[in-house]
Structure 1
Amino acid sequence: MAAKAYLSHQERTANEPRDPTLHSVKVRDIEQVVNSIRLIRLVPNETQPTIKFLPGQWLDVHIPGIYKAGGFTLTSTPEDLSPSTDDEYPYLELAIQNAPSNPAAAWLWRPQHEILKSDLDVRVGGSFTWPPSTIKPERIHKVVLVAGGIGINPLISICSALSRSSHINSIKVLYSTRLTTSSSKVLFLERLNALSQKQSTTTVQLFLTGSTPLERTCESMKAAKLQRIRLDDLIDAIGPATGRASTICYVCGPSKMTDDVVKYLAAQEGMDRSRVLCEKWW
């Protein structure tokens, strides 16, 4: 049997909406947050940034010398492009997994001194967004975010933006990830905890697998379930059928997990496929 052909980011997303404009940006900051993930902040080279995006979208990242653009999810929010004080700067943030077989990711994992201040071109794309195109935002009062592994990337942007929405009464985050012997930290957990502490409408339920002993240093780690997300966890998150007409779910993670969760949620009483949005990572 022939090996399955590898599809590039551009090929996988060929039917997704894309902004026609390329924007010039510069690599400003690099932070390694877990063993295999870097956060990279890009600053627009324009004096007055014109780049616009919605939470949940990604960037085509064009790197000099690399033929095909890489695709990386934005983990910042649109508000981060409009800082409120002179001490801050406008930025786009990407979470980059160490993937030597991905030319763009491998370049972004070069030694920091080699890539800081480098100029890149980026283009915004994607339809997995808040607000959704399927429902008017004012009709949504509850949002359920289901993340598997690095599927948390678009959802951290969406969750951060939702915390500023006055008509949202409940934000529930179900986040499943695997700890390994090389990394016992959970990507974006501190940011999620800060959001839940700032706003009582946001709750975070962590699901952990792996054999690494846990250092339960925060409330969400103490309350973590040592299992995968189960069907009863999904039912608890969306709540009684009578309240589901104003509920929307976002699901992002590995392909099979995403397929299973979407199929189950969309089949529940009071739910339908238009209110269960998904994006898969590969």
Structure 2
Amino acid sequence: MATVKDSVPHVVRTAHDQRQQGLYSATIGRIEQVNSGIRLFRLYLDPEQTHFFQPPLRHLPGQYVDLHVPEIERVGGFTITSPPQTALRLPAPTPSTTTPPTAATFDDPHIELAIQNSPSNPPAAYLWKPPAEIMNAPVRFRVGGNFTYPPLTLSRTEFEKVDNVVLIAGGVGINPIMSMISAMDLQGARKLGGMPRRLRMLYTSKRGIDKDGRKEYVLFEERLRAIATKWENREKEVDMQYSFFETSLATREKATAMDDAPESSRLRVFERRIQHEDLFGALGPEDEREHTLVYVCGLPDMTDGFVELLKKTPGMDEKRVFCEKWW
């Protein structure tokens, strides 16, 4: 994702992160204006670049790219918002296949980036040129990052025991979280790396107003709602609950669910900030937190405060609370 402090180069700030070898080539093939401050980009991978020393791209949910754009010397750091499945060219299913493929799985291989308008960040400024000027432009990138699902610090045996995952995002901190939950959703239930037995998603963001006075879309709000709706009546497989906290007091309309919403509700909307009680509720009972993973990504105050609290919460192992800092 774009940095908060553009004066700190991405490659310097992330110098100690793990990175894949080699550069991948791609083409800007799709640009979508989400709202006045964010664009979504689909970078289509070059199908001719795979050879014996550069295998097909296999990134982990939550990782970012070191992005090289034309005419800009500085390298940009942007989180991949799509799941790994969209970067792979998989064979078409045989007639005997009983489960239909998802559109994302069998689309042309690509990765997706959500780029915030940042005029002082040269790579981001390039990507905010008029779409006609950059459509089909060639780019190169390298994948890196330690904020991943599954976490790099757990063994396969430890990860197989995970039965509760809590995802907490604030603002553009939704970017790596979106990749994670999309990957889980595509993988399905009862599969390694797929939907856990229990999942809680907490997302807080402001809702902007465009120049014509209309309410703008919040990044990924429709995708998250669709995933929550998909699993809504499948509690025996996955106990998922998605809570959205809108903090734009001046622009909001009446929420679809308020603070007195029943606990059984799968989709809840609140007109306030995330509170400590929300975090404790997301973790579940103290005696059931042993195999819980928590991911937090948001602005500095939110991230630091939540991580410190969660690591000290009874029943939680601080080594299972992960955060991404881009500042």
Q: Does 1:107 align with 2:126?
A: yes
Tell me the distance in 1 between the aligned counterparts of 2:6 and 2:66: 21
Contact 1:151 1:281 in 2 (8 A): no
The structure 2 residue matched to 1:69, chosen from 54, 75, 78, is 75
The structure 2 residue matched to 1:179, chosen from 197, 202, 207, is 207
Tell me the distance in 2 between the aligned counterparts of 1:211 and 1:188: 20
1:245 aligned counterpart, secondary structure: coil
Contact 2:255 2:270 in 1 (8 A): no
Tell me the distance in 2 between the aligned counterparts of 1:93 and 1:195: 18
Aligned residue type for 1:275: R
Aligned residue type for 2:181: C
1:10-89 correspondence runs (5 A): 10-47=11-48, 50-82=56-88, 88-89=107-108
Aligned residue type for 1:53: H
Q: Hey, what does 2:299 align to over in structure 1?
A: 254
**Number of aligned pairs?**
278
Q: Does 1:194 align with 2:194?
A: no
Tell me the distance in 1 between the aligned counterparts of 2:7 and 2:296: 24
Q: Hey, what does 1:158 align to over in structure 2?
A: 180
Contact 1:61 1:121 in 2 (8 A): yes
Alpha-carbon RMSD across the aligned residues, in angstroms, is 2.2
Aligned residue type for 2:244: L
Tell me the distance in 1 between the aligned counterparts of 2:314 and 2:8: 37
Contact 2:208 2:251 in 1 (8 A): no
Tell me the distance in 2 between the aligned counterparts of 1:88 and 1:232: 41
Aligned residue type for 1:71: G
Looking at secondary structure, tell me which structure has more strand per residue: 1
Deviation at 1:6, TM superposition (A): 2.1
Gaps of 5+ in 2: 93-102, 191-195, 233-238, 258-264
Tell me the distance in 2 between the aligned counterparts of 1:250 and 1:139: 17
1:24 aligned counterpart, secondary structure: strand
Aligned residue type for 1:11: V
Tell me the distance in 2 between the aligned counterparts of 1:157 and 1:264: 25
Gaps of 5+ in 1: none
Tell me the distance in 1 between the aligned counterparts of 2:128 and 2:167: 29
| Structure of higher CA gyration radius | 2
1:185-224 correspondence runs (5 A): 185-200=217-232, 201-215=239-253, 223-224=268-269
Looking at secondary structure, tell me which structure has more helix per residue: 1
1:76-155 correspondence runs (5 A): 76-82=82-88, 88-135=107-154, 136-155=158-177
CA 1:161 to 1:205, structure 2 compared with 1: closer, same or farther past 3 Å?
same
Contact 2:86 2:107 in 1 (8 A): no
Deviation at 1:65, TM superposition (A): 1.7
Deviations 1:95-136 (A, max 9, x none): 000111110000011111111111111000000001112233
Tell me the distance in 1 between the aligned counterparts of 2:169 and 2:127: 24
